[in-house]
Amino acid sequence: MPPEKHNIQKTNRERRSLMNQQQPIHRRRLTRAEIRRRRRNRTIRRIAGLTLVVCVAVGGVSFLLSHRKAPVPTADAAGSAASSAASSLPLAAPSSKAESSAVSGAAAESVESRDNLLGLTAAEAKAMLADPLMILVNHTNKMPENYTFETAECGSKTAVNRTLQTVACNAFLELQKAAAAENVTVWMQSGYRSVSYQTNLYEKKTNYYKQQGYDDAKAKEMAAAIVNPPGYSEHNCGLAADLNSPEHTGLDEGFENTAAFRWLCQHAGEYGFILRYPKGAEEKTEITYEPWHWRYVGVENAAKINASGLCFEDYIAALQQIAG
């Protein structure tokens, strides 16, 4: 470095040092108010910092908790919650007494009792009684004059009356087909009978007993235990079928010893048929035991009747009691 330049820099440093020595720095003393204000500001900054840290920590915890998989409620818990929610809802007050009665009636119907012999509600019992397939025809219940229907043929070659109500005919043909698949033969020997035909049968049976020495009243009574009077026979409504098989062609109690009868006892209900005059029910049906006489009532009705263990008369009586 040239000597001149070095001397200039040295002179400048000496000048600045001399100036600093000649002008001492004077510091103003803080007042008490300023000291308190500075302390307060420092405190505020510390609190703000702590608050920020706490907020960040809480936010992080909340985020983690919100992203955890929620447990799936059980069916019981869901049902309880729904029930609690439903019970907490306010009910609108009916605007009139009539509406109040209607609401009460609807509520009563929704919880209608099934605590009875058949386990049915009154509405269900009424519906069954109104079913045309459930018509009761016996000694004391005549077939209504306006009970009309169509028939179709399903009888065997030797059948006396080869038709049934169309719905019963179709069901019997399905039954017959199912039995044949298990090597069991079932024939329909006698089905729908007109009232005039029934009259002829009843009169013949009455005359038979009169020839045995019974008076007219007693002969009719005894005949009615075997052949219902005209209009009082199930055969008149096209829903009754007298069945037999090659094993036993006679319409008598011998039919119960056949494979056909055993198959019917196990499967006839699946096609809507019930044994109409079972053993032990003679006092109720007023007809002697007839293992060959089967009645079509429909599949659902047959299942309920068979499950009850009641004969048809007792089942209808129970329905009437439930229906009110």
Spans of all domains in the chain? 123-193+233-323
Question: 273 vs 123, 159, 170, 268, 282, CA distance in Å?
Answer: 24, 19, 12, 5, 19
For Cα atoms 60, 62, 66, give the angle at the middle one, nearest 5 degrees. 120
- Residues of the chain falling short of pLDDT 70: 1-38, 41, 43, 48-51, 53-111
| pLDDT of the residue at 30 | 57
The CATH class, in words, for 123-193+233-323 is: alpha beta
Predicted confidence at residue 262, as pLDDT, reads: 98
Q: What are phi and psi of 233, to 5 degrees?
A: -110, 140
Distance CA 22, CA 24 (A): 6
290 is catalytic: yes
Amino acid 144 reads P
CB–CB of 289/119 below 8 Å?
no
Could you read off the pLDDT of 159-203 as tens digits, one per residue?
Answer: 999 999 999 999 999 999 999 999 999 999 999 999 898 899 999
Identity of the amino acid at 109: E
pLDDT of 113 reads 83
Of 14, 290, 300, 313, catalytic = 290
Beta bridge partners of 244: 187
| 254-303 pLDDT per residue, tens | 999 999 999 999 999 999 999 999 999 999 998 899 999 999 999 999 99
How many angstroms separate the CA atoms of 68 and 14, rounded? 73
Please give the model's pTM, rounded to 2 decimal places: 0.64
Q: What number of residues does the chain have?
A: 324
Q: If we measure between CA atoms, which residue out of 312, 305, 302 comes closest to residue 276?
A: 312
pLDDT at 129: 98
Largest alpha-carbon pair distance within the chain? 176
